[in-house]
Structure 1
Amino acid sequence: MNKIKETTLNALPPALFLMGPTASGKTGLAIELCENLPCEIISVDSALIYRDMDIGTAKPNATELIKAPHRLINILDPAQRYSVAEFRNDALLAMQDITTRGKIPLLVGGTMMYYKALIEGLSPLPESDQNVRKTIEATADEVGWDVLHQQLAEIDPTSAKRIHPNDPQRLIRALEVYQLTNRSMTDLMATKSDPIPYNVKQFCIAPEDRKVLHQRIARRFQLMIDTGFQAEVEKLKNRGDLHLNLPSIRCVGYRQMWQHLDGDYDFNEMFEKSVAATRQLAKRQLTWLRGWENVHQLDTFSTDNLTKVIKLSESQS
């Protein structure tokens, strides 16, 4: 790093990112950091934003939240949608407030698209339009998602390669963008907003052995079942205004339990599919992180993670 760039970077206020796959121990380490550094936590998790979805999202419990309050959790009803742009705006406002009071923003979670938006900035994509979305969803009900994916391939082949036909949330967004702007998402994403105005130290925590992570995922889902996850989903389902096309209900575990309650799966199938979906989520998160720049690796089972983070957070580069 040259002298001018280094001086500019060090003039920026500090921030810490604690990333990692699901079930890797992020919350525990984050609370330790808050007990040892003047940090305040901002959640970077697209599932923790929803109220009444506590068990299946592994939301920090009441005791943990007393020790270390988390911003950007429980901010939306499950019927609502939340864009990456909305997260970026909310997170930057929270970071500014924390910094103004002389504290360090500690961003914790595994939604890598949120981190990417913070670091690199966002493209000038249009706000979501519920009427357009409903029209797209109605078309999907008539012709199927595969047909809509083929339509996307014609107008935006790059996005079509990136988005799986079984990913309606991202498929709807790509088609919505084109219908609202007459430009492809790929075209619009070529332009970025300003990057994050912070000197960020980034950390990734994960078990070194992937098999151990898989075991932790299975054990955690069993704990969710034991502590009333089915009743939590039943309560959501009984509201009558929620459905499987909503981002909240498509969260891993919730979708599978919902389908079990619909009679699509028996209990054992639901359990296996939920664990498998969570493993796939962890795999995607790790794939993101393998290509991530300037990230310090931490082993879940290391006894000196706290010391490492404190030491590196106090360094000047």
Structure 2
Amino acid sequence: MNSQNKYLISIVGPTAIGKTSLSIKLANFFNTEILSADSRQFYKEMQIGTAAPTAEELAQAKHHFIHNKSIEDIYNVGTFEKEAIATLDTLFKAHDVVIMVGGSGLYVDAVTKGLDYFPEVDKSIRERLNLELLENGLETLQLQLKTLDIDAYNTIAIDNPKRVIRALEICIGSGKPYSSFLNKDKNNRNFKTITIGLTAERAIIYNRINKRVDIMIADGQLEEAKSLLDKQHLNALNTVGYKELFNYLKEEWTLDFAIEEMKKNSRRFAKRQLTWFKRNEDTVWFDYETESPEIISKVQSKMQ
């Protein structure tokens, strides 16, 4: 493959900003296919609550990595990187351009840059941190991470216990900040990446998120959560839009409170997504209302 004329167009931005719609327009213009880098849309049991592309949207362009896994599967970013690169190798045989879309920063970076590699640390550190999580709660661990590695604290999914413990065990086990191991030796890619970011004023982003949550509830998100209640212990379901409704279904919260928490947690998630994506200085940002021909024109100029 000649890497000089193979391009991955990566579309990033906060949740509910319009990435799916733009990805389809670009895929149709370049007569190509779409690879999803949204770590929640892999799971076939989680359709409404992850705002996965609709059947109509899926019919408009060929998609990869949508509903291709079960929540029962053990799946992580390392496995995704291998599968995604293998898929791209195949797609680039038939296409000069492939579109990637998704709001999961770690999964996007795994494809475009390769994964970071961390030192081996003593397993007992993770066991101790897991015990601390059970006994003292997540906030204690978050504060530890804030002290040991403020950069990691500001960029990782701080509400995800697994991510917090991973960062902490590296800090403690290596004696160096978790963030110091990021962006070191990466795998070279045999394609070029053009990253397009969609954004808006914060008030607009938050309003779109609130509306999307209302639409999800109207579309049957509560029924979907109810069908998954007995699987709530699975890692895939420890996520915004499900854990809040599980609390309602367990009669710990009222439905109104659960929905408000879904909105609040989604807004916090969007804020973290923007923090992550803004670190990439090569991203070309557009207002979410920008017409697709203008974005396509910019992409084409980048390919010259």
- TM-score with structure 1 setting the length: 0.81
Query: Using a 3 Å threshold, how does the CA distance of structure 1 residues 89 and 126 change in structure 2: closer, same or farther?
Result: farther
Structure-1 separation of matches of 2:140 and 2:297: 53
Q: Which residue of structure 2 lines up, in the alignment, with residue 295 of structure 1? A: 283
Give 1:269's aligned amino acid: F
Structure-2 separation of matches of 1:136 and 1:76: 29
- Conserved? CA contact 2:119–2:174, under 8 Å: no
In the alignment, is residue 87 of structure 1 matched against residue 77 of structure 2?
no
Q: 1:170-205: per-residue Cα shift (whole Å, max 9, x none)?
A: 1232356689x8776456547422243321111111
Query: Using a 3 Å threshold, how does the CA distance of structure 1 residues 195 and 255 change in structure 2: closer, same or farther?
Result: farther
Q: Which residue of structure 1 lines up, in the alignment, with residue 261 of structure 2? A: 273
Structure-1 separation of matches of 2:130 and 2:283: 39
1:42 CA drift (Å): 0.4
Query: Using a 3 Å threshold, how does the CA distance of structure 1 residues 134 and 236 change in structure 2: closer, same or farther?
Result: farther
- 5+ long unaligned stretches in structure 1: 1-8
In the alignment, is residue 215 of structure 1 matched against residue 204 of structure 2?
no
Q: Which residue of structure 2 lines up, in the alignment, with residue 225 of structure 1? A: 217
Structure-2 separation of matches of 1:225 and 1:311: 37
CA RMSD across the alignment: 3.2
Q: Which residue of structure 2 lines up, in the alignment, with residue 17 of structure 1? A: 10
Bigger Cα displacement from structure 2, 167-176 vs 98-107: 167-176
Q: 1:96 aligns with which of 84, 89, 92?
A: 89
In the alignment, is residue 78 of structure 1 matched against residue 71 of structure 2?
yes
Q: 2:236 aligns with which of 244, 248, 253?
A: 248
1:309 CA drift (Å): 2.9
- Conserved? CA contact 2:36–2:102, under 8 Å: yes
Structure-2 separation of matches of 1:292 and 1:118: 14
Aligned length: 300
- TM-score with structure 2 setting the length: 0.84
Structure-2 separation of matches of 1:82 and 1:227: 27
Structure-2 separation of matches of 1:65 and 1:72: 12
Structure-2 separation of matches of 1:28 and 1:176: 39
- Conserved? CA contact 2:157–2:272, under 8 Å: no
- Conserved? CA contact 2:32–2:95, under 8 Å: no
Query: Using a 3 Å threshold, how does the CA distance of structure 1 residues 285 and 166 change in structure 2: closer, same or farther?
Result: closer
Q: Which residue of structure 1 lines up, in the alignment, with residue 297 of structure 2? A: 311
- 5+ long unaligned stretches in structure 2: none
Structure-2 separation of matches of 1:311 and 1:260: 47
